[in-house]
Amino acid sequence: EVKPIMMSKFSKDKNAAWELIKYITSKEKMAQWLVDSGGIPPRMDSLNMDVFEKAGIKWWIQGFANELPISVAMSPINWGPVSEANLRAVNYVIYGQKSAKDAAQWLLDTYNDLNEKGTL
């Protein structure tokens, strides 16, 4: 999941906001933040920092790093409705409201409907 870091055009102190963005997206802070939160670095240069080794998770991070050369970016669509539909389909099955096959068809129909309406 990508969580963008951005500045509002209505920020009262854009210079300070920009300095904060530069600070928290620096390779050092990004690496430390991700060690603390369990995330995966979005920066290639953060992958080799010793903070992961010190935290004992270098092996885990390296597993993701090994996949980067063959990774692909997600399509630029509105993922909110897709995620919500996925969750609903799973819940339909978990709570016995639909069979797995019916939930899968409902999910496909929902995707198609979202696409036709231009929601994605």
pLDDT in tens, 39-52: 777 778 888 889 99
Percent of the chain with pLDDT over 90: 51
Whether the CB-CB separation of 98 and 107 falls below 8 Å is answered with no
Entry field: residues in the chain: 120
Do 92 and 52 fall into the same domain? Answer: no
DSSP code at position 2: -
Q: pTM value?
A: 0.51
Interhelix angle 100-116/79-94, nearest 10 degrees: 160
Residues 40, 65 within the same domain: yes
Number of domains in the chain: 2
> What does the pLDDT average to over 22-31?
90
pLDDT digits (tens, 9 = 90+) for 88-111: 999 999 999 999 999 999 999 999
DSSP string, 23-69: HHTSHHHHHHHHHHHT---SSGGGTT-HHHHHTT-HHHHHHHHHHGG
The answer as to whether 3 is a domain residue is no
**2 lies in some domain:** no
